[in-house]
Amino acid sequence: MLHIVDVSDTTDNASGTSKKITSDNLLSAYDSRTATLTNKTFDANGTGNSLSNVETADIASGSKSGSDTTLITGTAGTSGDLSQWNADGDLVDGPTPPSGSIVGTSDTQTLTNKTLTNPTMGNDIIFDEQADHSSTPGAGKGYLWVKNTAPSTLIFTDDTGSDTTVGAGGGGISNVVEDTTPQLGGQLDVNGNAIGDGTNELITFTEDASAVNQVNVENQATGAGPIISAAGDDTNIDLHLAGKGTGDLVVDGTATDSATIMLAEDTDNGTNAIGFKAPAAVTTTTTFTLPDGDGSANQVLKTDASANLAWSDVDTLVSAASTTTAGKIEVATAAETTTGTDATRAVSPDGLAGSDFGIRYLQAVVFDFTTDTATGDGKFYFHTPAAMDGMNLVEVRAEVITAGTTGTTDIQIHNVDNALDMLSTKLTIDSAETGSDTAATAAVINTSNDHVNEHDVIRIDVDAVSTTPAKGLIVTLGFQLP
């Protein structure tokens, strides 16, 4: 409602009919009134302009849609909380700020027990030197600190309290080449790559996920060669060497010697070995192919002239010998030697000694051919020559020229040096017989007393004669090596 006032009257009057229209009259008319302003703009930015004594509830929107912009919801927030704008553009109660001081981008402040996640450092990290780490890190954590040595040392302390030197004096290395005494603190994971000069591969590795065995390389002092051996968890481990494709495993010689493969004995027994050595000069490369499996007893390896080896019996490799051809030959037995008619067998010394050709015969005329036999020791003596040393008495025989009658002629062979009778059953020539070969009781040589040595004296004794004595007596003895 607009009031009409007298413009010449400067007296303030809220309801007068004759008032002067001035700004003071108008403002005084509205100072105590209550009114609703719609779509009005309040300018509080000008000099001297301000809004005061305005309660939050008084300026809150009574109803709004999502597109309305409201200064604040009108709901009181928690004391000390931050405010924030929501998706509708409302300034609402926000989160509780962290305790302590807030660090600005240009502030300098000491942070204690703070966790930095994926930090990016734009400048140097400055450490204060200290004598030791303050405490042991918690499980799965570690400390990085600078020890107050000269020069300073960068130390990493793990969750067991163990220190590892990382660098010293701000120096360190810019690449691995500068580390002239590198050491590994654990396994070197090549991650499927090779070791080389960066272009050419020197060594490649193939890792078995379930491996428990590996290769061990050991150096040696002067006079001993380095050792490449199998190692691992198993007790007995083979060491495999293989070429690629049709490639061979080659043991190279040197400029001073051909290649040798040595097979050493059990180390409990010593350090000796047996080796296979290539000739100093090889006309052409030859690869021998071994047979499949073992051969039979006494077989030998033979070649077919094409480097193929096979097991074979010696009999099939060597032809029979003859008087004109060298070759294999069978050794004759003593009996075959005695027979003496075999033209395909060879005579051995033992076979000859055991044959009749190996018997040495001694014959003694004990009584002249027309002289009667008579009893008595030492009717004849002889000694054994050096060639008979070690021989045994193997044959005895007695013969008379004229047979005696009634009773026998008994003869004993006695070794004077050994003082032993050599016959356990004497030689006998029966009545009316001329030889011992037809005696009813054959002579028996005592095998315990049959041995003779060089220069033994052998005596022939006549222990009995026939009632009518025989005339003449010849005794034959045969000696042979045992």
pLDDT score of 300: 92
Instruction: Output the six-digit token pair for 251.
Output: 């043991």
pLDDT score of 61: 47
List pLDDT tens digits, range 214-242. 999 999 999 999 999 999 999 999 999 99
pLDDT score of 168: 45
List pLDDT tens digits, range 425-437. 999 999 999 999 9
pLDDT tops 90 at residue 368: yes
* Closest CA relative to residue 131, chosen from 112, 152, 158, 159: 152
pLDDT tops 60 at residue 20: no
Domains of the chain, CATH where assigned: 1-33 (no CATH), 359-480 (2.60.120)
User: Lowest-pLDDT range, 21-30, 163-172, 292-301?
Assistant: 21-30
pLDDT score of 246: 92
List pLDDT tens digits, range 30-84. 555 566 666 666 665 556 666 565 555 555 444 444 444 445 555 566 776 667 7
Of residues 318 and 84, more confidence is placed in 318
How far apart are the C-alpha atoms of 340 and 319, rounded to whole Å? 23
- Residue 2: pLDDT band with limits 50, 70, 90: very low
List pLDDT tens digits, range 152-203. 888 888 888 888 887 544 455 556 676 788 888 888 888 888 998 888 999 9
